Amino acid sequence: MASVTSATPPGAAGELTAGLRGFREVQRLAYACAEAVAAQLKPGVTERAAARMQREWLRERGVRDWFHLPFAWFGDRTAFVNFRVPLQFFPTHRELEPGMAFILDMAPIHNGYTADIGYSGCLGLNPVHDRLLADLEAHRELILREVRERRPLREIYADVDRLMVRQGYANRHRAYPFGVIAHKVDRVRQRRWSPTLFGFGTRSLRGLASDALHGHRDGWSPLWSPYRFSDHPPQPGLWAVEPHLGFRGTGAKFEEILVVTDSKDPQESAFWLDDDLPHVRRRQEEKAA
Amino acid sequence: MSGAGAGTSAEAEAEAGAGAAAGLAGARERWVRTGGIELCVAELGDPAQPTVLLVHGYPDSKEVWSEVARGLADRFHVVLYDVRGCGRSTAPQPLRGGFTLEKLTDDFLAVADAVSPDHPVHLVGHDWGSVQGWEFATVRRTEGRIATFTSMSGPSLDHFGHWIKKRTVRPTPRRAAQLLNQSAKSWYVYMLHTPVLPELAWKGPLGKRWPKILQRVEKVPGGDYPTASLPTDAAHGAWLYRDNVLPRLRRPRADAYAHCPVQLITPTGDAFLSPRLYDDLEQWAPHLVRRTLPAKHWVPRTRPDQLVSWIGEFITAKEEGDPARQVVANGAYADRFGGQLVLVTGAAGGIGRATAFAFAEAGARVIAVDRDAEGAARTAEMSRLIGAPQAWAEVVDVSDETAMEKLADKVHAEYGTVDVLVNNAGIGLSGSFLQTGTEDWKKVLDVNLWGVIHGCRIFGRRMADRGQGGHIVNTASAAAFQPSKLLPAYSTSKAAVLMLSECLRAELAGQGIGVSAICPGLVNTGITSTARFTGVSADEEKRRQARAARLYGLRNYPPEKVADAILRAVVRNQAVVPVTPEARGAHLLSRFAPRVLRALARFEPRL
């Protein structure tokens, strides 16, 4: 199992291609932002304030374009309780309270490279949240293993779903647009003006749309969903994967980039872009303890 | 007062006292003199432990507490006393003016100082004991002498006075109705204000018949209670009303704020007090802990186990300095199910698991039973995380009678008697009647019907033997009243469960045990992917399972909503509960237009 889940890309990390290095840097930047903002959260901070803090932190570090603007969810909104319409994803005036779980989700574009990350935390003690985070590890392993086996995405999705049910959770990424568990990310050409539409960067949306168009002809889709259009083996490229667990008013997720290549070697055919991320480190520390 | 009245006159005559105190075997008895009165005080348990002081109501004597006292005695120093004029305590002379709350407070302080001079006591009051308790818990001179107060069936007369005022000064229709309702329930208060007649009645026919009335109307089990002193107790106790009710209701104190944590236990079937009386109680008692109990007025006799559990828990929390319990149950109905023992079968997934979680959130202790050991363990573990003080997993096949007997013995010995039993385990089977073999029939009936029979018989008997109420929930199905050519065996088993539940409900009603049948309908659970499809190849079966799972997934009715319906059914003691809209529709049709359902039964959806 250890060899399967080790996310070491082919060779040492230094051998990443320049492109992958760019993606990794922006992903690290985004996680650094999440950790910095999470450290400043205290009782009374609203979701809107938290989202603004993320936006400003990244702006100061040169981010000008977004795949999507930062989100923040607090309390039972982390589990998408009573979410009916997509507008409810946007940050609200909900205030953070002690013991509350929160999720920060952002997708900055930096130097033309895109990241899309999800960071789960809680303010103080929350045993349910701890358990959710610990249980997410099994999903990270399962997804990588099955992608390396080149199983159809739709089947992997079903397996993730089954694992969640076995663990006693509800699948919350089901509430995302198209119920996606992952979507492709790509390079974006930088322009001076980068407008957003409903919180999504127009340039990235265009990229996604053109992928969808090309994919449709070749029988694949840039969205990894439970539907028939995902009934194909993993398509080479970068996938932002975001399994999201919900349990009675508490939710937790991670989101990070999975690199899929057309290599025949199973190790090289898929790997997590970076293993030095908060949720991975946390587990390693727990194991060490 | 505390110093003057505390002269304890009598020696602790353990043996003599034990013999004399009817119903309180092993109690040490002594007399406490206060204001010209001798109070008979009984003690149980280790005096080094925290002291629990139990105060009885009208027309009782301290023996009303005997079961509760015994239950608490192994953990606490339990003290009971006969209120002045009752039991073996002496009565004031003259009676008029001898029963004011001020004098009763003197008595309380004298007893508290005698039995626990250095530490505050944990006060528990029932009926007039609770009315007094409110006085003790809200007047200045007892401050620091009371650690906690558990109140049942007795409001503060001051709060009651404000309650009435609020409703007479600004009567909205609802408030007027509440007022009328309580006025009707208070008929006996008016009666007790008439002179002489109550005394005559109690010393005459009423006193003689009272034990029978209690047994018949209140379902109070017989035995050592009420004691022979009842007629005089009741006659003297009439002065409790005459000395206090009118003056206090006319001029309620404005500063009747509790100076200790209060736990309020409200019996929902109380014939004398409306639960609405306590609506505004938080304003008088901050950090109030509310509990509700489906029982009548005399809970110390009819529900001693539940009281012991709640009183013990409340006192322990206070004694241990309110340890920030990591998880506090705050789910729906936490007041009702807190600390109760709930057993759920088929708890490794679907409706069973969701039900276990819902009970856990309400603070119940949960036993998750399933064939799937891993799944049951997971349910128990997660239950503890969200509020269950304790949760266990048990691996049992419900169709195996011996295994169920063993489980019941184990549960009874280790965790106690089950308060709520949820017979939920079930399997699916689809296929036409002629294609369903004997084996398939046996399997379905074994789990779906016999599993429920075993559960009801084995656990239900223990529940009935205890005689303190309880509830049984059987998961039937909308298929129980909706015929279909697709599900003959499954529907038959579920129809049997429905009828069984309704018969059992009739049988157990007299013992305070409710029975509910839940008919969920199409709910998104794992039952579809494990259901058998008869008369088709293995591949085809797999395909149909996937297809059924997909259809149920598209319908996407969550098992959590069924769990909510189950808790609601227990609280309201509902008989038959169809849950999803289609189940409710089918239930309605089955009563008013069964021919429509029969026509629908012929329809075969493409699977």
- Write down the residue that tokens 């991320």 correspond to: A277
The whole-number average pLDDT for the span B404-412 is 97
Residue B113 has pLDDT above 90, yes or no: yes
How confident is residue A120, by pLDDT bands cut at 50, 70 and 90?
Answer: very high
Quickly count: other Cβ atoms within 10 Å of residue B223's Cβ: 12
Q: What is the arrangement of strands in the sheet containing A244-247, beginning at the earlier edge strand?
A: A170-171, A244-247, A250-253
Q: Token digits for B162?
A: 């404000």
Cα separation, A30 vs A108, in Å, equals 7
pLDDT of res. A52: 95
Q: Give B-chain residues touching A131 at CB under 8 angstroms.
A: 382, 385
Mutate to test the interface with A, among B359, B370, B379, B386 (most CBs of A within 10 A): B386
The whole-number average pLDDT for the span B460-479 is 95
Q: Which residue, among A279, A262, A285, A238, has the nearest Cα to A141 in the 3D structure?
A: A279
CB B514 within 8 A of CB B570: yes
Q: Token digits for B354?
A: 């969701």
A248–B386: do the CB atoms touch at under 8 Å?
Answer: yes
pLDDT of res. B581: 95
Kindly give the interhelix angle for A153-167 and B373-385, rounded to the nearest 10 degrees. Answer: 70
Residue A9 has pLDDT above 60, yes or no: no
User: Could you give the percent of chain A with pLDDT greater than 70?
Assistant: 95
Q: Give B-chain residues touching A125 at CB under 8 angstroms.
A: 326
Q: What are the backbone dihedrals phi and psi of residue B272, each rounded to the nearest 5 degrees, phi first? A: -110, -20
**Half-sphere exposure (CA, 13 Å, Cβ side) for B238?**
23
Cα separation, B310 vs B71, in Å, equals 11
CB A252 within 8 A of CB A106: no
CB B128 within 8 A of CB B240: yes
Residue B17 has pLDDT above 60, yes or no: no
Q: Give B-chain residues touching A248 at CB under 8 angstroms.
A: 357, 361, 386, 560
Q: Which residue, among B3, B26, B237, has the nearest Cα to B112 in the 3D structure?
A: B3
DSSP B579: -
CB B102 within 8 A of CB B132: no
pTM: 0.89
pLDDT in tens, A106-117: 999 999 999 999
The whole-number average pLDDT for the span B512-530 is 91
Query: How many A×B Cβ pairs under 8 Å?
Result: 26
3-state secondary structure of A286: helix
pLDDT of res. B13: 39
pLDDT of res. B11: 40
Cα separation, A26 vs B393, in Å, equals 46
More confident of the two residues B229 and A1: B229
pLDDT in tens, B413-422: 999 999 999 9
The whole-number average pLDDT for the span B44-60 is 95
Q: Give B-chain residues touching A247 at CB under 8 angstroms.
A: 382, 386
CB B31 within 8 A of CB B57: no
User: Could you give the percent of chain B with pLDDT greater than 90?
Assistant: 83
pLDDT of res. B328: 63
Helix, strand, coil in percent for chain A, rounding step 5: 45, 20, 35
Cα separation, B130 vs B57, in Å, equals 7
The whole-number average pLDDT for the span A268-283 is 90
For the residues of B376-401, what is the DSSP string, one character each? HHHHHHHHHHTT-S-EEEEE--TT-H
Residue A209 has pLDDT above 90, yes or no: no
Catalytic annotation present for B490: yes
Residue A6 has pLDDT above 80, yes or no: no
3-state secondary structure of A81: coil
How confident is residue B244, by pLDDT bands cut at 50, 70 and 90?
Answer: very high
User: Could you give the percent of chain B with pLDDT greater than 70?
Assistant: 95
The whole-number average pLDDT for the span B297-316 is 94
Cα separation, A274 vs A284, in Å, equals 14
Q: Give B-chain residues touching A168 at CB under 8 angstroms.
A: 353, 357, 378-379, 382
Q: Which residue type occupies B159?
A: H
pLDDT in tens, B356-387: 999 999 999 999 999 999 999 999 999 999 98
Q: Which residue, among B383, B389, B385, has the nearest Cα to B344 in the 3D structure?
A: B383
How confident is residue B352, by pLDDT bands cut at 50, 70 and 90?
Answer: very high
Q: Token digits for B288?
A: 């109030």
Q: Which residue, among A249, A216, A222, has the nearest Cα to A235 in the 3D structure?
A: A222
How confident is residue B20, by pLDDT bands cut at 50, 70 and 90?
Answer: very low
How confident is residue A81, by pLDDT bands cut at 50, 70 and 90?
Answer: confident
B 429-448 residues inside an 8 A Cβ radius of A: none
pLDDT of res. B535: 87
Quickly count: other Cβ atoms within 10 Å of residue B564's Cβ: 18
How confident is residue A15, by pLDDT bands cut at 50, 70 and 90?
Answer: low
* Closest residue to A127, CB basis, from B326, B361, B375: B326
Cα separation, B228 vs A159, in Å, equals 71
Burial class (CB in 10 A: 0-12, 13-18, 19+), B601: middle
A168–B526: do the CB atoms touch at under 8 Å?
Answer: no
Mutate to test the interface with A, among B344, B382, B567 (most CBs of A within 10 A): B382
B353–A128: do the CB atoms touch at under 8 Å?
Answer: no
- Residue B588 forms contact with A (CB below 8 Å): no
Active-site residue among B241, B490, B552, B557?
B490
Q: Which residue, among B547, B523, B525, B545, has the nearest Cα to B534 in the 3D structure?
A: B545
3-state secondary structure of B423: strand
The whole-number average pLDDT for the span A4-13 is 45
pLDDT in tens, B433-448: 999 999 999 999 999 9
Cα separation, B73 vs B64, in Å, equals 15
Residue B221 has pLDDT above 90, yes or no: no
| Rounded alpha-carbon distances, angstroms, from residue B337 to A232, B292, B294, B304, B333 | 49, 8, 11, 16, 6
Cα separation, B399 vs B384, in Å, equals 27
